[in-house]
Structure 1
């Protein structure tokens, strides 16, 4: 169950993909199925290329289903890539 308090339920999955077992190198991912027609939605892979910036910044500041308002509260984003893309 999600601990995020938002007005609409948003399904998501997260985890790690192993890049190199020898060095225990992993990549974190957070997958959001499309909110509309997820079975037929295209899959969109966003790779953050800003040095020193967490991928979580893009989820909350750029294109995810949530945003952080001026009071540092989590709110629903009106227009998100996850509406029609997974």
Structure 2
């Protein structure tokens, strides 16, 4: 998470390149989710795993934003304070 923490810190200070890097990362993940939904037709859940998926609530929120019409909803309070283990963010 070292690189992403650096990007997040720079983004918070108003760095436009860091903001673009964050947005590009979220967009690429969102694009893959959309592609999988198109192929699978129905998705029961989306799992965010690994360092970014588990520890970066802002990224999870950004990825899910705008996907409501595909049946994807994120519970913001749970996303911001997920706790440990498997957590239902819907």
- On whether the aligned pair clears a TM of 0.5, the verdict is no
**Higher relative contact order, structure no. (Cα contacts within 8 Å, ≥ 6 residues apart):** 1
- Work out which of the two has the higher radius of gyration on C-alpha atoms and give 1 or 2: 1
**Greater share of helix residues, 1 or 2?**
2
TM-score by length of 1: 0.23
**Greater share of strand residues, 1 or 2?**
1
TM-score by length of 2: 0.22
